[in-house]
Structure 1
Amino acid sequence: MSEKLRVLMIAPALSRESIGEAYVAYKWAEALMPLVDLTVASFQSPRHSSLAEQLPQARIVTWPRPTVLDRNPRLRAMLKPEWPIFMRKIRAYLRAHGGEFDIAHQIMPQAMRYASPLRGGGVPYVVGPLGGALTTPPAFRTESGAAKWYTRLRALDHLRLRFDPALRASYRDAAMVLGVAPYIRDHLAPIAIRDYENVLELGIEGPAPARELRSDGTIRLLHVGRGVRTKGLRDVVRAMGLLRERPDLHLTSAGAGEEIALCRAEAERLGVADRCAFLGAIPRDQVEDLYAGSDIFVFPSWREPAGNVLYEAMRWGLPVIAAARGGPDWIVDEGVTGFKCAVSTPDALARDVAGAIAKLADDPGLRATFGARGQAKVLAEGLWPVKAEGLVGLYKRALGR
């Protein structure tokens, strides 16, 4: 039997007690532990249990997490002010221990704006899965509201991919770059990267319980996501307005944000407020109950880097309606696991979403077929052990083995 690969995984935040990127990084590390000789390097949050306890089969290297901008978590998540400190820590660690590894992997951050500390460390390295860098379609910009000043910094990402020497070199010198969907490869076109592969960053724990089928004549639509314009909830409400003569359709939204009040007002204006429920932020177990009790998942998010909630819905056997853009365009198989709607104008998107809802609402057999196919897809490719085995295969490919 061949020896296990010696892998160094780095991420500025990694914890099972967190959310977002830090939690996803933890799930990758947890899944990889049985398959490789794993070392994890990260900041240790003072509010979380030690990474040594969380990942007992891995060697852990941590430093105290800087508290810069803790009072503004959204700004902190966008700017990652601790990144220069993390880079120095990783480079110093590689100078002392680089010879102990076959390959290194910068699993996070996901955004394509952070030059990697692994470059020049003497160890072949992988970066990704990378995501983001999607822009707002022109026809939607007037409805997108006034964004925080720091979110507009995303517009610099494309320029940096063309002109930032450190960022370009990070991807050019990587043994492999991973992206959450094929559009990432297009964004990286200005750089001569060595190897590329699509890898959705999120996995699933296992199959969902069987959903209880009802026959009460109501078709329950579900949208799960932050209350921001890009998630497409307003487009779903407008689709409900176009289907106002269908009292059998009921929409439930789970998620909080400034968009929710606007969507509630839109539902009132269109005369469908009695068929739209906006629950705001709810606990995770209640979100799972919504998946179990719904008939169609409607998520036409048009600036979605990956589309993890689509994976969650498909795990429950729900047919899905998504936008033909970004990550959802890769996750959803048109006419197989759901419908994809083109993104051109808000009016056109609402019409297309309404049409897709009507087709699925009128055909329970099609809903069952799409749902079964989607569930089979995520079970075949999305289970964490399966994803970890695939990642080890990519490590070996990157090393030429």
Structure 2
Amino acid sequence: MHHVEAQHAAERRLKVLVIAPSLDGNDLSEPEWAYRWVEALSRKADVTVLASSREGAVPLEKQLPLARVITWPEIRWLYQKFERFNAMAKPGLPFFVRQCRRWIKAALADGERFDVGHQILPQGMRHASAFADFDIPYVIGPLGGGLKTPTGFEAEVNASRGLANRLRDLDDFRLRHDPALRRTYQKAALVFGVAPYVQDRLAEVGLQRFHALPERGYGNFAPEITRQSAVGQLTLFHAGRVIRTKALRDTIRALAHLRDLPGVRLVTAGDGEDLPFCRAEAKSLGVADRIKFLGRIPRGAVEQHYAAADVFCFPSFREPMGGVFFEAMAHSLPIITAANGGPDFLIDDSCGIKVPVTNPDQFSRGIADAVRKLAMNPDLRQKLGAGARVRLQSFGSWDDKADLMLTFYTQIIAQAHPRPLPELERATS
């Protein structure tokens, strides 16, 4: 693109090409937040989306009426019979990337031009992009994942070592030696990460530019309520898939250090492989009568428990970001979490207490100390709860994120196609 075209791009709606498999506003997690982002962007730019379609889902062209949508069917048997494996390893993604590559090549051959590309999904740092094969300036992310298990927790985590851990080991090798993956990040004009740790993780690859940006925007805030639990009375809420790294087990152990505060209780929503161990731990420690295990419950019921809680205690110690924090902060809940990964970036002293991640014994004691501090100080709970709402607003709405993207896109286009110096300036320089 000539510099005159770059100037024209700044004067009109930008033509943005988005790659985002599994985009779906009616899904959860990555597909849902990516949809919100693209939907907001499509109201401010001319967006073309390359995505997968899933049988039974609302067609993406109906969900995104303001965008041009190009989809290819997802490999049905993968998500029907191996849904968890498909979600983590994404074995069908190389085929999707080839489809994207062919479509982009054909579009450019037909004379189409895009100002900028953005691969918003997948979020994991293990997937090459079709954009790397073309001259379109592009953005990757927000990327997440790839966190290491803290050394003191390796024994307990590895006791239930699953596919995620094996993929994480393979990621290290590929980031060092896979030329297609390394070129994807090296050639990107900008890489977004959900938190600063992503930049550290990709440091050896060599990025042109990095920016830390939470993947979510805030939506509707819950009605403001005044929580009036007395001193020593506290309801903790933990919500999420119950695996060892989400630290429900550590929260249960923390209750055992708070036997002098019988008014502190825990409600937990979620299911997963670590739930039987958590139930057994609660029974063996003698705190089962202070814990309500809800299992997997509907979305509406989760919202009710946020509203009924005094504190959101989610000390997940290998968390890329954590959408549950956005939900809890929308309910003005003070946060107890781990000083590691995404939560270490998302939560600050204005809205919560972060516990250093050392080893299981010290970690559970640190959680207990944080719970005790909040249980004995209702004014602090109120202050941090109000701070959570302000902190969430600082991350911006979906419209704010779309505006921010347009700012970055414009910078990238200008950098890719700088205006030449005037004749006089060149003659005297």
Please classify the TM superposition score into its range, dividing by the shorter chain length. Answer: over 0.9
The answer to whether the Cα contact below 8 Å between 1:244 and 1:271 also exists between their aligned partners in 2 is no
Give the counterpart of 1:346 among 346, 360, 372. Answer: 360
Residue aligning to 1:66:
75
The answer to whether the Cα contact below 8 Å between 1:14 and 1:23 also exists between their aligned partners in 2 is yes
Residue aligning to 1:399:
413
* 1:16-165 matches, cutoff 5 A: 16-70=25-79, 71-98=81-108, 99-144=112-157, 145-149=159-163, 151-165=165-179
Name stretches of at least 5 consecutive residues in structure 2 with no aligned partner: 1-9, 416-429
Residue aligning to 1:321:
336
Aligned equivalents of 1:42, 1:111: Cα separation in 2: 17
What is the root-mean-square deviation of aligned Cα atoms in Å?
1.5
Q: Deviations over 1:222-274 (max 9, x none)?
A: 11111100001111001011001211101000110121221111111222111
Residue aligning to 1:264:
279
Aligned equivalents of 1:90, 1:250: Cα separation in 2: 51
Cα deviation, residue 373, structure 1: 1.1
Aligned equivalents of 2:402, 2:385: Cα separation in 1: 25
The answer to whether the Cα contact below 8 Å between 2:20 and 2:50 also exists between their aligned partners in 1 is yes
Give the counterpart of 1:174 among 161, 183, 188. Answer: 188
Name stretches of at least 5 consecutive residues in structure 1 with no aligned partner: none
Aligned equivalents of 1:350, 1:16: Cα separation in 2: 37
Q: Does 1:229 align with 2:244?
A: yes
Aligned equivalents of 1:256, 1:149: Cα separation in 2: 18
3-state secondary structure, aligned to 2:131: coil
Q: Does 1:245 align with 2:255?
A: no
Number of residue pairs aligned between Structure 1 and Structure 2: 400
Aligned equivalents of 1:338, 1:150: Cα separation in 2: 29
The answer to whether the Cα contact below 8 Å between 1:220 and 1:295 also exists between their aligned partners in 2 is yes
Q: Does 1:11 align with 2:20?
A: yes
Cα deviation, residue 211, structure 1: 2.5
The answer to whether the Cα contact below 8 Å between 1:315 and 1:379 also exists between their aligned partners in 2 is no
3-state secondary structure, aligned to 1:400: helix
AA aligned to 2:59 is S
Residue aligning to 2:382:
368
The answer to whether the Cα contact below 8 Å between 2:39 and 2:64 also exists between their aligned partners in 1 is yes
The answer to whether the Cα contact below 8 Å between 1:6 and 1:102 also exists between their aligned partners in 2 is yes
Residue aligning to 2:293:
278
The answer to whether the Cα contact below 8 Å between 2:218 and 2:395 also exists between their aligned partners in 1 is no
3-state secondary structure, aligned to 2:292: strand
Aligned equivalents of 2:62, 2:379: Cα separation in 1: 47
Larger radius of gyration: 2
Cα deviation, residue 129, structure 1: 0.5
TM-score, length-scaled by structure 2 = 0.90
Q: In 2 relative to 1, CA 12–245 (structure 1 residues): closer, same or farther, beyond 3 Å?
A: same
Structure having greater relative contact order (Cα 8 Å, sep ≥ 6) = 2
The answer to whether the Cα contact below 8 Å between 1:195 and 1:398 also exists between their aligned partners in 2 is no
Deviates more, 1:349-358 or 1:93-102: 93-102
Cα deviation, residue 149, structure 1: 4.2
Aligned equivalents of 1:380, 1:6: Cα separation in 2: 28
TM-score, length-scaled by structure 1 = 0.96
Aligned equivalents of 2:122, 2:164: Cα separation in 1: 17
Deviates more, 1:264-273 or 1:177-186: 264-273
3-state secondary structure, aligned to 1:253: strand
AA aligned to 1:95 is K
Q: Deviations over 1:200-224 (max 9, x none)?
A: 1122212221135234663110111
The answer to whether the Cα contact below 8 Å between 2:192 and 2:212 also exists between their aligned partners in 1 is yes
Aligned equivalents of 1:149, 1:22: Cα separation in 2: 21
The answer to whether the Cα contact below 8 Å between 1:220 and 1:252 also exists between their aligned partners in 2 is yes
Q: In 2 relative to 1, CA 47–151 (structure 1 residues): closer, same or farther, beyond 3 Å?
A: farther
The answer to whether the Cα contact below 8 Å between 1:206 and 1:383 also exists between their aligned partners in 2 is no
Cα deviation, residue 68, structure 1: 4.2
Aligned equivalents of 2:355, 2:318: Cα separation in 1: 13
Q: In 2 relative to 1, CA 149–41 (structure 1 residues): closer, same or farther, beyond 3 Å?
A: closer
